[in-house]
Structure 1
Amino acid sequence: MTPDAEFGYELLVCRYAELAWHPSEGPRPALVARQLGTQARRWDTVVIEVDPAAFERRRAFGERTIDSDLLHVVRGAPAEWEWYRDALPDPGYPWRYVRQAVHRAAGRDLIEKRRDGNRIQIRRVRPYPDWVERIVAVENKPDLDRSAADRLAEQLNHDIDTGLADEAWLATETTGEPVEPALLRELPVEAGILATDFSAGVDADAVDVAWHPSDLAPGSGERRDSETETLRLEIAERAYGKGWRSFHDTMRPDCRHFELRREGRALVPYCAAKGKLPTARECSGSCSKFSPEPPQWRTKGWPIEGGPGKGITALLERRRERERDGVAPGDDA
């Protein structure tokens, strides 16, 4: 059955998007992440539609996020050796921070560096590709009452006005009524509506499009300003490194009661002590039911050193890797 917490619903929407994106226009290669955005706006679910060939070139830069400081260096690194202050655009902040980023980038083999007297020279290892095609924002609200709709309308209008995303959706649970209540709420018409039914678990058929969204990308001949384009790329990089299964970073898989349970084609966290899917806030060291794994659990043949909690973390990370590996040239699924 569908988890009653919004957090659990969010995980199911993320898995659906991973399985069956785009809901109305057919399969597109994409990455899915959650709880990403800017200081002004955080999205529940983020879908990064990618160019598969360019994405493969991005994969050559490694598995980790390239953060904003590193992007400044990696994107600006020249093909031939050059003093980093001549090669890179003015960052708008002290160059000493750029120098630190140069060292970090070289330490991760993202660029090459050398000294020429007192100057640090850099050159690129390979061009950083233009791998992001579209960014889609999804707000998740399983129970869309009137007050929730009012708050969402303001948030969705912000997305539409800023143009940071190419498409905006609301995901909500279907009610089975002839006209879904979400269609009667005062939501911006530019936002699409996904009517979900995860009662039998997650699969490609668990979602219907109740309202089709508008394309929020600039029209022909128009371009986003460079600051917006940079923000979009930073969001995409965080999505690449984080994915949506990163809940293990903010929960306690090392608790003896922490499990993963299947919801159709999704694996979600489950608390055996409370008999439910916990929120990230509940699943913490301060929980009254928290019980660390006994030390002997970590020494009796578990699939990875450190016990079942480490095994769960490794499993989730392998699944993230598997999904990223699936976005390959010529792969339309």
Structure 2
Amino acid sequence: MREYGFELRLCARLEAGGIPGIGDAGVVSRQLGTSVHAAGGRIVDTVCVLPGPEFDARTELASDTIPPAVLDADVPVGEYERVTRVFDGPPERARSLAERGADTGFLDVTRRGGQQVVRQTTRYPDWVGGLVGVENKPDLGRPGDLAFQTRHDASLGVLDYAVVATESHVTRAHLNRLPDAVGVWRVDFERENPIEVVRAPEQLDSAGPGLEVLAEHTARTEVRPVTADAKARQRRRVAERAYGKGWRTFDFPACANASTGDGDATVPHCAHFERVVDPASECGPDCPGFEAADAPDADLDAERERRTPWRSDAGGRRRQSGLDQF
């Protein structure tokens, strides 16, 4: 199976059945960056956010990602403060951040005494119980950067657990190429229980400092220290992006061969190729199976709301385009 289809089907499975040996997957998302120093340097295929003690409060707070700069700022909860005192940088940036926070429903922005002022509508909840990252490699015969990716995850510790998911038969040699803390799943979607735990992941040190692997060379490896505070901020950012983004980030092509699939979860399926396709890279007039038609009717937000605790109208705000993108 191609990696894109494998990834979507695994996301649907984790959302419905939880994470083997770990617990419920409160939020499942795709393609999220976990690097602290190298922006965009490490993109994890699938990220699950385990529910924390105040997970329900997060589902009531906002349906979108709350921007990291809003959460990093010292915005008061009860009393109003001038926007330009709360947010660093030029006044235009401060006002823009305040409005973005208000769009999610997390901030309340108004004017008093001729000044724009802001406050939090409520205290930010302790909703994250842990982060589980899954690297999807259906074919271990073509591992790509798997060794580097898993060393990055184990050394940095932004994730609480790191796992490799594959369709391949897993040998001792495969396991020996991965850090001991990284788990391995063998996945067969034809089975009633698709995920076989070949090696359970060990819990990483997500609370302490870490080392971010920046690059590997023949005779040396470039690393950079990461403080515990920097990791905590990045973990919150990853969790927020996951919450706002989810895993249903695809659009359906306007093609007669496109359908929503025949499983429990809606996915972009192609009758011409008889498999799940990536509409962003595989569909369009240049495809040999393209036949112009209306796109399949699908409400992905409604499906997510039906299958998970996420609410599309949380915070009483209309969902804003772009707020949940990485």
Superposition deviation, residue 275 in structure 1: 3.0
AA matched with 1:143: D
The corresponding residue for 2:303 is 319
Please list every run of 5 or more consecutive structure 1 residues that lacks an aligned counterpart in the other structure.
295-307, 328-333
Classify the secondary structure of the residue corresponding to 2:232: helix
Give me the TM-score of the superposition, normalised by structure 1. Answer: 0.77
Contact 1:50 1:133 in 2 (8 A): yes
Find the residue that maps to 2:231 and give its secondary structure. helix
Contact 1:31 1:48 in 2 (8 A): yes
Q: CA deviation at 1:14?
A: 1.1
Q: Percent identity?
A: 32
Residue 226 of structure 2 corresponds to residue 230 of structure 1:
no
Q: Secondary structure at the match of 1:241?
A: helix
User: SS where residue 261 of structure 1 aligns?
Assistant: coil
Alignment partner of 1:243 out of 231, 237, 246: 246
* 1:186 corresponds to which of 177, 180, 183: 177
Distance across 2 between alignment mates of 1:181 and 1:245:
35
Corresponding residue of 2:82: 83
Cα deviation, residue 227, structure 1: 2.6
Q: 2:19 is matched by which residue type in structure 1?
A: H
Structure with more helix by fraction: 1
Q: CA deviation at 1:218?
A: 4.1
**TM-score, L = length of structure 2:** 0.78
In structure 2, C-alpha distance between the alignment counterparts of 1:107 and 1:267, rounded to whole Å: 28
Matches within 5 A, 1:246-325: 246-248=249-251, 251-252=252-253, 254-263=254-263, 265-280=264-279, 281-284=281-284, 286-293=286-293, 309=296, 311-312=297-298, 314=299, 316-325=300-309
Alpha carbons 1:139, 1:171 under 8 Å: kept: yes
Using a 3 Å threshold, how does the CA distance of structure 1 residues 31 and 77 change in structure 2: closer, same or farther? same
Corresponding position of 1:136 = 132
Judging changes above 3 Å, is the alpha-carbon distance between structure 1 residues 274 and 220 closer, same or farther for their aligned structure 2 residues?
Answer: closer
Distance 1:234 1:216, change over 3 A: same
Q: Which of the residues 163, 166, 171 maps onto 1:172?
A: 166
Q: Structure 1 residue 158: deviation in Å?
A: 0.6
Partner of 2:201: 213
The separation in 1 between residues aligned to 2:28 and 2:237, in whole angstroms, is 15
Supply the distance in 2 between the matched residues of 1:17 and 1:37 (Cα, whole angstroms): 20
1:13 matched to 2:10 = yes
* Distance (whole Å) between structure 1 residues aligned to residue 236 and residue 310 of structure 2: 21
Alignment root-mean-square deviation, CA: 2.8
Letter in 2 for 1:215: Q
Structure 1 residue 23 corresponds to structure 2 residue 7: no
SS at 2:262 equivalent? strand
Other-structure match for 2:31: 35
Displacement, 1:285? 5.1
CA distance in structure 2 between the partners assigned to 1:271 and 1:212 by the alignment: 35
SS at match of 1:113: strand
Deviates more, 1:189-198 or 1:59-68: 59-68
| Partner SS for 2:101 | helix
Distance 1:35-1:118 versus aligned 2 partners, 3 A rule: same
> Which residue is equivalent to 2:149?
155
The AA in structure 1 aligned to 2:187 is: T
* CA deviation after TM superposition for structure 1 residue 323, in Å: 2.9
Q: Which deviations, in whole Å up to 9, do the C-alpha atoms of 1:72-113 show, x marking residues without a partner?
A: 45x733321222344x3x64x444312211123234432222
Q: Return the offset for 1:182.
A: 6.3
Identify unmatched segments of 5+ residues in structure 2.
35-39, 211-225, 312-326
Q: CA-to-partner distance for each residue in 1:140-162, whole Å, 9 max, x for gaps? A: 111101x51x6211110011111
